[in-house]
Structure 1
Amino acid sequence: MLRLTNINKRYGSHEVLNFSEWNINKGIYWLKGGNGTGKSTLFRIISGQIPFIGEVQLNGVSLRKEPVKFRSKISFAEAEPQYPLFIKGKELIDFYTETRKTDRKQAKDLADHFEMTPFLDNVVGSYSSGMLKKLSLICALVGDADLFILDEPLITIDILSAGKLNKLITEKASQGKSFLISSHQEVSNDQLKLDKVYQIINKQIFQL
């Protein structure tokens, strides 16, 4: 489903990633690694946010040859989301809903699921870090992407919300959707059934 070949990424003279191939099929995958190992960089490459050397394909669609079609198949939630402080939560969700041409009921159900509905008329600048994280997850899960990339989705949210997120991931995976997740915290198979676990070591990706 997802195929990366001959990937190289540098920031100036600093090389972050350098590997020949990485393939994953449908499923739920956990990418481990400490700060600075290249997890977020890899996720930004796959989601088409930064330039790189190499090729990325999702279900046969090339990021380089068909960038718009490719990006429509992926949804990415940053580890530390940053939104304009003056925008309301509802306005941000509406933007994602309209852009992805999806049912507003889906967004409403997600907001209710994460208990964010009472706060959506408030501006983002008034949100706590946990609320901001839940807002970013709602925006990421809206729509019908083939691959959801969640960078550190468990940081700043409470245990109850983490359980609700795991339930949603499991439900979407049962519908044929795939997930790439990074986390400093241990992801137990009791909480989320993982298909495989990977780790970036010395700029390359290894299965654990």
Structure 2
Amino acid sequence: MISLDLENIEKKYGDHTILSFEKWRLDSGIYWIKGGNGTGKTTLFRVISGQTSFKGELSLNQISLKKEPVAYRAMISYAEAEPQYPSFITGNELLNYHIAVRKADRLAAEDIIEQFGMTAFMNNKIGGYSSGMLKKLSLICAFTGDIQLYILDEPLITIDADSAQVLYRLINKYREKGSSFLLSSHQELEAGQLTLKATFQIKDRKIEAC
């Protein structure tokens, strides 16, 4: 079980307020944040994953991001919508970093690599990857290790239909193991693939149920 609690959240870029709400609480499950570009989905995910500053209080399982940032971030895995990595390192070098930090099982990671059809490319420099390969690499790294909350921003963009099926299977597998998910997408999720706990949207800087 997880308990994600956000209170009195405000996020601005300059004078432009992106998020401003009093309270949002989630427990275990798969959640979908839907909506078009520019609605604040990525900003919300960057706040929750500890990637950007904000006003307010944020905790996961009663562990505060601001008071215990290392312990908080250890429970979260965040995959960006448009991942960017140093072009001079290989896919395996990036993955090895995640394995070391999370003390993860290499064999489990290799199984995910094979499912995404990336085995032949992991020793190549990331600078030669296509956008689809970059996205799959980011998902491979995201699913490496035992994490309580996975935050996947636009996980379906730039990947093919077969890879989308792999993604759905991984989400369901990790959910069965007890992990929870926050997903964002401006496109519809494939019907019947995931059992969603709830669906939300950001409207007028606030989060509301759909």
Q: Which runs of 4+ in 1 moved over 6 A?
A: none
Alignment of 1:101-120 (within 5 A): 101-120=103-122
Give the structure-1-normalised TM-score: 0.98
**Which residue of structure 2 aligns with residue 42 of structure 1?**
44
Summarize deviations over 1:111-140 as a string: whole Å, max 9, x none. 111110111111111111111100000001
Find the aligned partners of 1:53 and 1:96 in 2 and give their Cα distance.
29
Q: Percent identity?
A: 56
Q: How many correspondences in the alignment?
A: 208
3-state SS of 2:31 partner? strand
User: Structure 1: where are the runs of 5+ without partners?
Assistant: none
Give the structure-2-normalised TM-score: 0.97
Question: Of residues 8, 21, 24 in structure 1, which corresponds to 2:10?
Answer: 8
Find the aligned partners of 1:56 and 1:128 in 2 and give their Cα distance.
35
Q: What's the Cα RMSD here? A: 0.8
Query: 1:175 deviation in Å?
Result: 1.0
Find the aligned partners of 1:60 and 1:144 in 2 and give their Cα distance.
19
Question: Of residues 55, 58, 70 in structure 2, which corresponds to 1:56?
Answer: 58
3-state SS of 1:136 partner? helix
Query: 1:194 deviation in Å?
Result: 1.1
1:187 maps to 2:189? yes
Find the aligned partners of 2:184 and 2:86 in 1 and give their Cα distance.
25
Query: 1:188 deviation in Å?
Result: 3.5
- For 1:55, the aligned partner's letter is E
3-state SS of 1:107 partner? helix
**Which residue of structure 1 aligns with residue 97 of structure 2?**
95
**Which residue of structure 1 aligns with residue 144 of structure 2?**
142
User: Structure 2: where are the runs of 5+ without partners?
Assistant: none
3-state SS of 1:205 partner? strand
Alignment of 1:63-102 (within 5 A): 63-102=65-104
Find the aligned partners of 1:142 and 1:135 in 2 and give their Cα distance.
11
